[in-house]
Structure 1
Amino acid sequence: MSISSPLAHSKEQESAGNVVLLHGLARTAGSMDSMEKHLNKAGYKVCNIDYPSRKHRIENLTSEFVVPEIQQCFGDVLTPLHFVTHSLGGIIVRQLAVEHQQIKIGRVVMLSPPNQGSEVVDKLGTWGLFEWINGPAGKQLGTTEDAIPNQLGPATFELGIITGNRSINLILSTLIPGPDDGKVSIKNARLDGMQDFLVVEQTHPFIMANDTVQSQTLHFLQNGTFQH
């Protein structure tokens, strides 16, 4: 985990707010470093959380790792916390909203979230190699009705979603119907209750480091909409 205070010094910028960053499956907080710097420059206090995404189920990752890290970063804050997430991180925020309502959620930007699951998990989730790479949380991200993404309900917070339409894994893309980013279809990134939705020419692993995506993320945190 890293926590960074605003780099700017004006009162207006220093009061921008608090943001929690949650990386994706089989990634680390380092994958969100450039996003952290971008938001930091805009005046946000940023908590970039590292959690063992391959080691536990989503429920345990949320309650045993993410919640304590948030409390360590910000204490018992009364003001809502904003979130920027990649992939699995978006499902963890939804789990937070349902099971940990003591944490008040402000605006959320999800990048390439499997909000309705991924067909990749449906097809490969029973393979030993898949579980070794992705762990128990990865196996929970299918598209069936009883899969976690389809049990958490619509968004109950201000939500903007950005997803990609380019793939660097053409083998996985053959398992996914319709346009996709190599892991998640554009259709399955959507979530009922979202305020805005944006498709960019990016791939699943690298979407968070794209300049346009970072600018659009900041715009949503500030305004509750993307720039179209």
Structure 2
Amino acid sequence: MNMTFAVIKTGGKQYKVAANDVIKIEKLEAEAGDVVTFDQVLMVGDTIGAPLVEGALVAGELVETKKSKTVIIFKKRRRHNSRRRNGHRQLLSTVRITEILTGGAKPAAKAAAKAEKAPAKKAEAKAEAKAEPKAKAAKAASAPAAEFKDDLKLIGGVGPALEKKLHDAGVTSLKQIADWTAEDVAKFDEVLNFKGRIEREEWIAQAKDLVAGKGPRAKADKE
């Protein structure tokens, strides 16, 4: 029987293949170097399936999976001034055909060994991916807290000019602002003529975050 070629079906399309042929097909759930098999064999040499050739199998090696060239889709509606342009890139797998098998034969020993290793590699990769966030969280938890810097200019909106006004009013520490009460806010708002700025820019919340070791918000001296 002539076995120089076979016709397989995958991704809703048919392909005529022979040993060492390289074909591009719809994305396969496999990694580069994995052995892939196609059991929907419609024809092998002179033998035509009904619809499939019983016991036939085509084996190949996945070379790579990547996006194809962009396909432009342009739609226009006459007399409606409507135009729509979209692009699409299909994920395609490149496969090198290695064997055309009949009579229930299995892929070569080397290929079979690769096929057995593939699930193990995938399971190992999944386990590593699952463990990585926990490792990062543990590292973050063990990291020393950022050193607290008691600087009024770390509050968003406070620059050298406002800092001097606050110092003159007896306010020299972020911890002081973090402990302000509503009465304190009203007092300094009036004394320094801030016109509601303290509440508007959330100075107390900013000061509490800074004392807790969080980073400063964006600063811009509006004076």
Q: Which of the two has higher C-alpha Rg?
A: 2
Higher strand fraction: Structure 1 or Structure 2?
2
* TM-score using structure 1 length: 0.20
Higher helix fraction: Structure 1 or Structure 2?
1
* TM-score using structure 2 length: 0.20
